[in-house]
Chain A
Amino acid sequence: MLLAGLAAAPAPEGPWRAVLDLEGGMLPFTLELARGSHGRSGRLCNGTRCEPLSTVELHGDSLTLGIADYAATITARLAGDSLTGTFRNVGNRGPRVIPFRAGRGRWPVTPAPAWLVGRWDATFFSDFGSSPRVFEFRNGAQGLEGTMISNTGDYGHFAGRMAGDSFTLAHFDGSFVYLLAGACHGDTLRGVFHAGLRTETPWIALRSTGAPHLKRPTEITGADTSAPFRFAFPDLDGRMVTARDPRFRGKVVLVDIFGSWCPTCHDQAPVLVDLYRKYHSRGLEIVGLAYEVTGDSAVDARQVRRYRDKFHIPFPLLLAGINDVDAAQATLPQLHGFTSFPTTVFVGRDGRVRLVHAGFYGPAMGAQHARLVKEFAREIERLLAEKG
C-alpha cells in the first residue's frame, strides 16, 4: 500500500517556455534545466543568449532556481508540464516579488518583418521628462532580436516575438526586468517600456534618418585639460599606482573606468585587451580603475582578479572605489558629468585628456559595435602619432 502510494517524482529537465507576469504585460524567457553526474544545472536564456543559474534544487514538487549574482531566486511548484511560482529578490524596502509561470517546450521563433528591422529613433515620456533612446531590431538565429540604447549605453540583448503588427522584446537576467512592447501605426512605432513589475514608460519611435538622435558618447563627460590627468589607487596587491609612474610617462594612456559587476564592461574588456596587444609596443598603456560592489577591498580584489583572469587582462587594474556614479565622480575630480560604467578616458603623450568616451556599444549592437572598435583604434593611432 505504501509503495502504491508513491507517485513517480516529477522531473523538471528540459526546456521551459517561461513568463514573468508584469502588471502591464507578459515577459517571456526560456529556462533550460538539465541533470548530469554533478547534479542539476540550468540556464536562463533571452533568445540565443544564456547565463547559468547558480543553483537548481528540487525537493518533492518544489523547484528553487538560484541567481546568486543578484541574490535572487525563482521558486515554483512543478505539476506535470507546468511550473507556477514567483521570482523574488530582496531589497531594503521589502521583498520584490513578480509572478512566474512556465510550460514545457520552447517559444516559437517569429522572424522580424522587413518593416521593423533596422534602427529607430525613440523618445521616452516619463514624469521626470522626455529622453531619447535608439532601438536596433534585426533577425537572429531565433527570429526577432535587438537592443535599446540610451545616452550612456545599451540595455543588453533583447529577444523578441511578433504578433501581427505588434511586437515585444524582453530582457530578464535575474536583476533587470525589461519588456519593450510596441506596434506599428503607419510610419511610427508606439508602445510602452516596462521595467520591473509595474513601471511603464510610453514611447514613440520614427525610423532613423541617420542624423544623431542620442548625444554623442564623446560629448557626455567632459574633462579638465589644463593639467595632466591624475589618478592614484592601489592595485590588487595593495601597491599604489599613480599617473606619474614611469610606465605612463610619454605614453598614450587609456583609463578604463569599469566594474566587474557591469555587463557592458565585460563586453568592452576583450576589445581593450586586443587594443593593448596591438599597440603596446608602439607606446600604448591601459589602466583599469575598478569601482566595485562591496567596498570591502579583500572581496572586491577577489572579484576583480576573477575578471582579470576571465579576460586575460595584461594591464594593471586598480581598486578605485565603489560602483556609485557620484562616488566615482568624486575620486576623479578632473572629469565633469561622469554618468556611466564603462567610461574610457583617452590621455595623450603629454598626460592631458584628449577624449572621454561614455558607455560602450556591446556586441548586441552589431555594426555599431564593430564601428566603435574601429573608432577606438583610430583614436589610439592618432594619439600615438603625436609627438611626446
Chain B
Amino acid sequence: MRVAAIMSLALAAATGRASAQGEIARERADFVRWLAAAPTSPLATVAQQPIGRGVRLGPADADIPLAGVPAHIVAPRSGGIGLEGPGVSRLMPRGLPVRLRGYTLTVDGPAGREVLTVFGPRHAAKQPAYYPATPGFAFVGRLLPPEHRGTVRLLGVDGIEVEAAEAGSVIVSMGGARTRLRVRRLPSPGGEESELEIFFRDGTNGRTTYPAGRFVSLVPAPRGRYRLDFNRARNPFCAYSSAYACPAPWQGNTIPAAVTAGERYHADSAGASELAP
C-alpha cells in the first residue's frame, strides 16, 4: 500500500504544453541579455566577500584591489553598512546597486552576516550554453510533505545566505530509478515572494554541466500539482565567476542518470568549453 501511495504521488511526465518550448526560448533569451548587459550580472563580478568588521577596496594591497579606485572601506556603522572614502560617506542599502568609479557594489545577506559583491565595468565574453529543450524532461505531480518542518540556512543561486524552509519532496523516475528530491522554499528579498527550489546533482555534473550541481524551480500547476521542468535547470552563479561561493549539495538530491536538459557549463567566446571528468 505504501509503495502504491508513493507511486501515485510521483511526478508524471508532463504532456500537452505546446507553448512551453517557446516560453523556455524566451526565458533563455531574456537571461542571456541580462547576463551580457546588467551591471550586476555575474559575468561582471570582480569579488564577493563577507563584510565582517570591514572590507578595504582600492589599492593593490587592499582586500579587493580595484584599478583606478582610491582606498575605500565598506564596514558596519550606525544604521547599516557604510561606504567611506575620499568624498564619500554613505550607507549602502541592502540589495540595491551603488556606483563607485566605474564599479558597482551591492550589499546583501542577513543582518550581521552581510556580503559585499563588487561588479566591474566589463562583462566576460561568455555565453551560457543550453541543451535543446526536450519535453521528456518536464514532469507534473504532487509535492510530498517534508519529513521535518523547519528552516535551514543555505546559499542561494547568487552565493548569498538565505533562511530557507523545508517544503517537502518530489519523486522523479529517470534512468530506471526513482529519486526523491528535496524541495526548499527560498525567499526573495523584500515583499512576499519566494521560489520552490531544488538543488540537484546528476550524471552530467563535471562533464557537460557544472560540477557543483544545478538549481531548478518547482512551479505551481493547476489542481494543487506542481511542474518540474529540467529544461529550466540553471547554474549557480559560481559557474560564471570564481568570485562566488558555491552552494553545498543538498543531501540526497542526486539523480543517478544524465539529465541532459537545461543549462550546460557555459562555453567561452572561443567555442565550447567542457570540464574534464
Residues of A within 8 Å of B192, CB to CB, are: 178, 193, 195-196, 199, 201
Residue B25 at the chain A interface, CB threshold 8 Å:
no
Q: Mark B22-40, 1 if CB is under 8 A from A, else 0.
A: 0000110011011000101
Residues of A within 8 Å of B158, CB to CB, are: 92-93
Q: How many A-B residue pairs have CB under 8 A?
A: 107
Assuming A23-B219, A95-B30, A321-B79, is B90 touching A196 (CB within 8 A)? no
Candidates A195, A200, A324; contact of B94 at CB < 8 Å: A324
| Interface members, chain B 3-43 (any A CB < 8 Å) | 26-27, 30-31, 33-34, 38, 40
CA distance A90 to B95 in the complex (A): 12
Residue B96 at the chain A interface, CB threshold 8 Å:
yes
* Interface contact A94-B165, CB-CB below 8 Å: no
CA distance A178 to B78 in the complex (A): 34
Residues of A within 8 Å of B34, CB to CB, are: 90, 94-95
| Interface members, chain A 280-318 (any B CB < 8 Å) | 293-297
Task: Please classify the interface of chain A as helix (H, G, I), strand (E, B), loop, or mixed, using the class held by over half of its residues.
Answer: mixed
Candidates A93, A97, A330; contact of B80 at CB < 8 Å: A330
Assuming A128-B185, A293-B96, A326-B111, is B80 touching A321 (CB within 8 A)? yes
Assuming A93-B158, A95-B34, is B167 touching A327 (CB within 8 A)? no
Q: Mark B203-239, 1 if CB is under 8 A from A, else 0.
A: 0000000000000010111100000000000000000
* Interface contact A295-B91, CB-CB below 8 Å: yes
* Interface contact A198-B91, CB-CB below 8 Å: no
Residues of A within 8 Å of B97, CB to CB, are: 92
Q: Mark B104-132, 1 if CB is under 8 A from A, else 0.
A: 00101001000000000000000000000
* Interface contact A331-B79, CB-CB below 8 Å: yes
Residues of A within 8 Å of B149, CB to CB, are: 127
* Interface contact B220-A200, CB-CB below 8 Å: yes
Assuming A94-B31, A295-B93, is B80 touching A128 (CB within 8 A)? no
Q: Mark A199-214, 1 if CB is under 8 A from B, else 0.
A: 1110000000000000
CA distance A326 to B81 in the complex (A): 11
Residue B191 at the chain A interface, CB threshold 8 Å:
yes
Question: Distance in Å from the Cβ of B42 to the closest Cβ of chain A?
Answer: 9
* Interface contact B79-A327, CB-CB below 8 Å: yes
Question: Distance in Å from the Cβ of B144 to the closest Cβ of chain A?
Answer: 13
Residue A320 at the chain B interface, CB threshold 8 Å:
yes
Residue B242 at the chain A interface, CB threshold 8 Å:
no
Residue A322 at the chain B interface, CB threshold 8 Å:
yes
8 nearest CB pairs, A to B: A295-B91, A321-B79, A327-B80, A326-B111, A127-B165, A196-B193, A195-B192, A127-B185
A-B pairs with beta carbons under 8 Å apart, 25 shown: A90-B38, A91-B188, A92-B40, A92-B97, A93-B157, A94-B34, A95-B31, A95-B33, A97-B26, A127-B194, A128-B151, A176-B191, A196-B193, A199-B192, A199-B195, A200-B220, A295-B93, A296-B98, A321-B79, A321-B80, A321-B91, A322-B93, A327-B94, A328-B79, A330-B80
Which B residues contact A (CB, under 8 angstroms)? 26-27, 30-31, 33-34, 38, 40, 78-80, 83, 90-98, 106, 108, 111, 149, 151, 156-158, 165-167, 185, 187-188, 191-195, 217, 219-222
